[in-house]
């Protein structure tokens, strides 16, 4: 038997839902049919993907490794078969927040002049790898470490950190701040894709509270409402100016390195062109 796209979709539904029952309902299949499809895929690969020894299914180590590859393959097929994209092959550049900061507009304006035949799509994906693992993007802008198979990572920028505080707070009037100046405030922490954790502070000045958020919009909302202060980079100040938020330089927080990441072999023929243009813009 040869596995096909149907087997990959079945496996991904099981991986996401955690049970055969919910996955079968999602796919409008009977439970025996879905279980049979999973066994066929495992037989084809000659590896166990799902541990069925517990009531709540868990992926094996091989299943976890296979999940990202399967997701990327399904996303690629869906992209090719999307009728709204027929006749075009857009290059997808992903980011979790703030893209390339002040360099973003330059890239988006120069790309169509240099490569009019290839649309460039800038996509925000609220995941630490900006959608690269699941095949949602061809190149990702990443802040922070990433460990993905067959992925090349290259640093292109270093961004200073800044504090984000409500504009009517006493902190907003300061020319510069230190991490200790924020320690008495709740800290907005993006747990899905952010680079700030409470471990950024010295052990003797760790903030007492964190306000957990899942994306940049919720992070900004927490700060504008006066529920928290934040730590980010100059890219956020460039991409998300807000009349209720003041961005103040932080003098003792380490810079954040910005990376480009892509798969080898590349998932789009224009990846090399995008890398070259981005290096030219960011590195000069």
Query: Quick check: 262 and 256 in contact, CB under 8 A?
Result: no
Quickly state the pLDDT bin for 78 (edges 50, 70, 90).
confident
CA distance 105 to 91: 16
Asked whether residue 77 carries a pLDDT value surpassing 90, the answer given is: no
Please state the φ and ψ torsions of residue 109, each to the nearest 5 degrees: -85, -35
Residue 253 is predicted with a pLDDT of: 97
Quickly state the pLDDT bin for 217 (edges 50, 70, 90).
very high
29, two tokens: 């299949």
Average pLDDT of span 153-162: 97
CA distance 69 to 56: 23
| Residues listed for the chain | 284
CA distance 166 to 51: 49
Query: Quick check: 120 and 111 in contact, CB under 8 A?
Result: yes
Range(s) for CATH 1.10.10.10 in the chain? Answer: 5-81
Asked whether residue 87 carries a pLDDT value surpassing 80, the answer given is: no
Query: Quick check: 151 and 262 in contact, CB under 8 A?
Result: yes
Residues forming a β-bridge with 155 = 259
Asked whether residue 1 carries a pLDDT value surpassing 80, the answer given is: no
Range(s) for CATH 3.40.190.10 in the chain? Answer: 88-158+257-283, 161-254
Residue 57 is predicted with a pLDDT of: 86
Asked if residue 164 has a cis previous peptide bond (ω within 30° of 0), the answer is: no
Strand duo 151-159 + 120-124: pairing:
unpaired
Instruction: For residue 247, give the H/E element and its range.
Output: strand 245-249
| Mean pLDDT computed over every residue of the chain | 93
CA distance 15 to 21: 12
pTM of the model as a whole: 0.80
Asked whether residue 82 carries a pLDDT value surpassing 80, the answer given is: no
Q: CATH number for the 161-254 domain, one of 3.90.1150.10, 3.40.50.1100, 3.30.360.10, 3.40.190.10?
A: 3.40.190.10
Place of tokens 């903030």: 207
Place of tokens 């505080």: 165
CA distance 202 to 199: 7
Please state the φ and ψ torsions of residue 136, each to the nearest 5 degrees: -80, -20
220, two tokens: 């900004």
128: nearest Cα among 105, 156, 97, 152: 97
* Residue 209 or residue 147, greater confidence: 209
Place of tokens 């940049």: 216
Q: Is 97 helix (H, G, I), strand (E, B) or coil?
A: coil
Quickly state the pLDDT bin for 150 (edges 50, 70, 90).
confident
Question: CATH homologous superfamily of domain 88-158+257-283?
Answer: Periplasmic binding protein-like II (3.40.190.10)
CA distance 250 to 58: 43
Terminal Cα-to-Cα distance of the chain (whole angstroms): 53
CATH topology of domain 5-81: Arc Repressor Mutant, subunit A (1.10.10)
Asked whether residue 27 carries a pLDDT value surpassing 70, the answer given is: yes
Asked whether residue 86 carries a pLDDT value surpassing 70, the answer given is: no
Average pLDDT of span 196-217: 95
168, two tokens: 């009517």
């Amino acid at each position: 038997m040869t596995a096909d796209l149907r087997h990959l979709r079945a496996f991904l539904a099981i991986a996401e839902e955690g049970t055969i029952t919910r996955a079968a309902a999602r796919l409008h299949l009977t439970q025996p049919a879905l279980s049979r499809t999973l066994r066929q895929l495992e037989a084809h690969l000659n590896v166990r993907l799902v541990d069925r020894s517990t009531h709540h299914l868990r992926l094996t180590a091989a299943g976890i490794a296979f999940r990202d590859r399967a997701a990327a393959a399904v996303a690629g097929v869906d992209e090719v078969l999307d009728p709204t994209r027929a006749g075009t092959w857009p290059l997808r550049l992903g980011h979790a927040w703030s893209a390339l900061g002040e360099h973003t507009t330059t890239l988006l304006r120069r790309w169509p002049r240099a490569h009019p035949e290839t649309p460039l799509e800038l996509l925000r994906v609220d995941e630490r790898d900006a959608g690269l693992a699941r095949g949602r993007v061809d190149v990702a802008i990443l802040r922070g470490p990433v460990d993905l198979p067959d992925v090349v990572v290259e640093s292109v920028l270093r961004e200073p950190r800044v504090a984000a505080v409500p504009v009517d707070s006493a902190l907003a009037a300061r020319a510069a701040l230190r991490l200790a100046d924020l320690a008495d405030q709740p800290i907005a922490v993006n747990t899905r894709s952010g680079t700030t954790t409470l471990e950024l502070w010295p052990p003797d000045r760790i903030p007492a509270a964190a306000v957990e958020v899942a994306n940049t919009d919720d992070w900004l909302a927490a700060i504008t409402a006066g529920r928290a202060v934040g730590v980010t980079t100059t890219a956020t100040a460039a991409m998300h100016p807000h009349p209720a938020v003041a961005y103040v330089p932080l003098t003792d927080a380490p810079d954040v390195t910005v990376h480009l990441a892509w798969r080898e072999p590349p998932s789009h023929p224009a990846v090399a062109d995008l890398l070259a243009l981005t290096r030219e813009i960011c590195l000069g």
